[in-house]
Amino acid sequence: MTVAPRLQPRFARVDEAAAAAAGFDLRKLPADYYANPYPYYHALRDSGPLHRLPDGGYFLAGYAACVAVYKDARAFSSDKKREFAPKYGDGLLFEHHTTSLVFNDPPLHARVRRIIAGAFTPRSISDMERPVTELVDGLLDRIEAKGSADLIADLAAAVPIEVIGNLLAVPHEEREPLRGWSLAILGALEPVLTAEQQERGERAVEDFVAYLKTLVARRRAKPGDPERDVLTRLIGGEEGGERLSERELLHNIIFILNAGHETTTNLVGNGLHALLEWPEEKARLLSQPGLIRRAVEEFLRFESPNQLGNRLTVAPVEVEGVAVAAATYLTIGIGAANRDPAEFHDPDRLDITREPNRHLAFGSGPHVCIGLNVARLEGRIAIGRFLARFPEYRLAGKPVRSGRARFRGFLSVPVALA
C-alpha cells in the first residue's frame, strides 16, 4: 500500500452535519470522531463560532475565537482546581494537575514559567542539533537492519524520551519507565475517565514522584550546568528570587517530562503518515529537502498533536459577539481552529509550502508552549532524516490510532522501507 487513504474532511450531507453539531457532546463522543474529528469540527464551526455543549460549556471551533481566548489570560483562567476536584477527588492526580504551571494562573504560573523558560535559550536548543541527529541516525540504522519499521515504536516515541531525558539529565538507564508514567498521567486528562484510567494515573504519579525524589536529591548533591540542565534550574529557583516548594518542584518536573512526550511522538508519527496520504507533497519534500521546516509547521497545523485546550471564564465576558457567563468552561478546539477556512486557504489540503501558517498547535498567549522549538527541531530531524533515508517507505499494515480526543496520534504505523 503506497498511498494511505485520506480522511473525508466533511460530512457528505448538510443535514448530517447539522445533526452532528446539534448532538455534539464531548462526554459522549461518537466512535468515528476519534478516527476523524474534522467533519465534526467543520459542522460545529458552521453552526457558529461558539457551540453550546450539554454541560453548559462551549466548544470553540473558529480560529478567531480560539485566539481571542488564548490571548486574554485575565478573562480566561487556566486554573483547573474547580474542574478537577469532582473529576479526580483529592488524590495524587488532582495534586499533580493542579500544581503544574499549565493549569495555573499567576503567580505560580509566572514564577515557574520564568524559571523553566531560561533553560530554553536559542543556544541550548541549537546545542541539541547534533545529539538529536546522532540519536535519529542510530534509530534509522536499527530500522534499516530490521528491514521494516513501526514508525511509532521505532522512531516517533523513541526520540522525545531521549531528548527530554537529556534536558533534565535523567541517567539513560533510568529512562525506561518514563514513557509509561507519562501516558498514564496525560491519559487521565481525557474528557471522560474510566476507573481503570484513573487508577493507572494515580499509580503513575505516585511512582513518578518517588523516583523524582531520589533524582532531585542526587542533583542537589551534585548540581548540573543551569544553562542547560532544566532540573538544576528548577531546584535553584529564580536568581535572587523565590524557589519552588518541594511539591511544586516535583509536579512541574513531571509536567515537563510529560509535555514533550506524546505531543512530539504524535508530530513525527502524524507527519510521516500524512505524507503517505499526500504522495505529491512527499515527492515535493523529497525533491526540495530545504522545505522541511515549513513542512513541519504544516504537519502541526494539519494533524495537530494536541487537539483540545481548556479555559474557565472568571467574569461575564463576550467572545465573538456571544455573551458568556462567569465560571463557564470553554474547550479550545485547536484542531478545529487549524482547519478554519477563514484563516487557512483550502484548510483540508496538506500544503508543505503554506504561507502564512499561523497555526495554534502550540497554543498562543502567556501559556504558549515553552518547548515549541525543541519539538520543531525533533520533528525536522526525525521526519527529514527518515524521509531522506527511506524515500520509498509505504504502509505495511493498518495503522492503529491512539483513539483519544485530546492527543491525536497513532499507537502504531507499520511500514515497509522499499
Where do contacts with ligand HEM occur on this chain (CB under 6 A)? 78, 101-102, 113, 116, 164, 167, 256, 259-260, 263-264, 267, 305-306, 309, 361-363, 367, 369-371, 374-375
The nearer residue to ligand HEM, 117 or 283, going by C-beta atoms, is: 117
The dihedral over CA atoms of 186, 192, 198, 201, expressed in degrees to the nearest 10, equals 0
Work out how close the CB of 178 gets to ligand HEM at its nearest, in angstroms, rounded to a whole number: 13
CA distance 330 to 49: 12
**Given the DSSP bridges, would you call strands 329-333 and 58-60 parallel, antiparallel or unpaired?**
parallel
Question: Least distance to ligand HEM from the beta carbon of 108, Å?
Answer: 10
Q: Least distance in Å: CB of 368 to ligand HEM?
A: 6
Residue 59's φ and ψ, nearest 5 degrees, are -105, 125
Question: Least Å distance between CB 71 and ligand HEM?
Answer: 11
> Given the complex with ligand HEM, which of 20 and 185 has the nearer CB atom?
185
Quote the CA–CA distance of 102 and 338 in Å, as a whole number.
Answer: 21
Q: How far is the CB of 361 from ligand HEM (least distance, A)?
A: 5
> Whose Cβ is closer to ligand HEM: residue 62's or residue 371's?
371
The closest of 175, 191, 148 to 54, measured between CA atoms, is 191
Residue placing its CB nearer to ligand HEM in the complex, 198 or 364: 364
Judge contact between 345 and 355, C-beta under 8 A: no
**Residue nearer to ligand HEM on the CB measure, 53 or 370:** 370
181 versus 362: smaller Cβ distance to ligand HEM: 362
Which position's Cβ is nearest ligand HEM?
371
Distance CA 45, CA 64 (A): 11
What number of CA atoms fall less than 13 Å from residue 359's CA on the CB side? 28
Question: Are β-strands 58-60 and 50-52 bridged in parallel, bridged antiparallel, or unpaired?
Answer: antiparallel
Axis crossing angle, helix 129-146 with helix 372-389, rounded to the nearest 10:
40
Q: Which is nearer to ligand HEM, 17 or 178 (CB)?
A: 178
Q: Work out how close the CB of 401 gets to ligand HEM at its nearest, in angstroms, rounded to a whole number.
A: 17
Task: Single out the residue of 164, 135, 132, 182 nearest to residue 231, CA to CA.
Answer: 164
Q: Which is nearer to ligand HEM, 253 or 415 (CB)?
A: 253
CA separation (Å) from 328 to 39, 53, 68?
Answer: 26, 11, 16
DSSP string, 34-91: HH--HHHHHHHHHT-SEEE-TTS-EEE-SHHHHHHHHH-TTTEE---HHHHHHHHTTS
Count other C-beta atoms under 10 Å from residue 87's C-beta: 16
Paired with 324 in beta bridges are: 317
Closest CB 193 distance from ligand HEM, rounded Å = 19
Instruction: Write down the least CB distance from residue 372 to ligand HEM, Å.
Output: 6
102 versus 152: smaller Cβ distance to ligand HEM: 102
**Smallest distance from ligand HEM to CB 145, Å:** 28
Residue 129, amino acid: E
